[in-house]
Amino acid sequence: MREAYLVGAGQTAYGAFPNESYRSLFRTAFEAATNSVPKGLEAAEIDEAFVGTLGVGGRQLGLSGPAVTEHVGLDGIPCTRVENACAASGFAVRQAVQAVKSGMADVVLAGGFEVMSDTSSDATKYWLGVSGETEWERLSGTTFSGVYAQMASVHMETYGTTREQLSRVAVKNHANGSKNPHAQLGFECSLEDAQSAPVVADPLTLYHCCPTSDGAACALVVSEDVVDEYTDEPIRVAGVGAGSDDVGLFQRDTYAGVPASQRAAEQAYEMAGIGPNEVDVAEVHDCFAIAELLAYEDLGFCEKGKAGGFIESGATELDGTVPVNTSGGLKSKGHPIGATGAGQVVEAFKQLSGTAGDRQVDAPVYGLTHNVGGSGGAAVVHIFERETAVSAR
């Protein structure tokens, strides 16, 4: 198979944008992505597109995949809409990589979008809910936050994880998000803020939960045959892994981990030929604070049950051994469901190309993204490798 390379990536700000449509949001992300390609890239050069969305709000009903690609000038190219709950555009990126590696295409767009601010809070809860098991969890009254609260409770009871450790995730990610102009909740919060906030689903407080968001993100993946036309500083897609699991939490053998993430990570590390200790920067799926702690363990950044101590050690801070969620993560940057996975790739691109501004990590070589669907029914992991030294910016 051919090598695949990430040559550009861009996103909108995340937030509530009542004057925007899903088409206009996607255009903004698309233009940001094409403008980020060092040597430039035109719409006419794109062979295929994969677009992720759950289709939450009323403003994006219909054949939304071709609607957004047509809107940005990609007339007539194959476009596939990918729906895998919160992992929709993470899997869209995987599909783009597969298209390039297989030889089916040389230049592929992977993106995602979501409009979540045009429905009531009850309707939004419904759409979030159907990302998980519907018949036995959602229809019996369990909310999305309630499912992750169960996971948090089990981890706390089994391993001694504390609410303070959960809160440290929020503090770190808000600190990073305050340095990100695209973040929806781009402000810092204190440990006291996070711990004393209203309880959403015990033990999770408001600051342990990500917001709902409007937004879009795009990434551009090209083959080894054409990469030199677009950049002199290639970022290789070194590893890709994906996994699935029982959709319902009650169906699984463990509440204190996400087996789909573990499977995806194992595949990605094997393909990349590296181990967790070689990852320099990571974007992980922190829809709730406990999800980030679980990701530390599932991705091999620390031993099972040690995530609480790992966050306390400072290892995942911007200057730590493995900075995690330098963008602010879902917690601070926001979570427009269909755009989240591609948005993580945007941050990996910025970090590896040395353009992350005040949140830039020192000389990263390997960047990892981890995108989860539902409460762990699906997961996808990408590992990106910077092959040349980053030019001074």
Residues with active-site annotation: 86, 335
Backbone Cα Rg of the chain: 19
Instruction: Give the helix ranges, DSSP H, for 160-214.
Output: 163-177, 191-196
Look up tokens 């729906």; give the residue: 83
Integer Cα distance of 213 and 174 in angstroms: 16
Integer Cα distance of 223 and 107 in angstroms: 7
Burial status of residue 271 (CB atoms within 10 A of its CB: 0-12, 13-18, 19 or more): middle
Instruction: List all residues 6 or more positions away from 380 whose beta carbon is below 8 Å from its beta carbon.
Output: 87, 90, 91, 93, 94, 240, 241, 242, 264, 341, 370, 371
DSSP per residue, 342-389: HHHHHHHHHHHTT--GGG--SS--EEEEEEEETTTTEEEEEEEEE-SP
* Contact between residue 330 and residue 286 where contact means Cβ atoms under 8 Å apart: yes
Integer Cα distance of 48 and 67 in angstroms: 14
Count CB atoms within 10 A of the CB of residue 258: 29
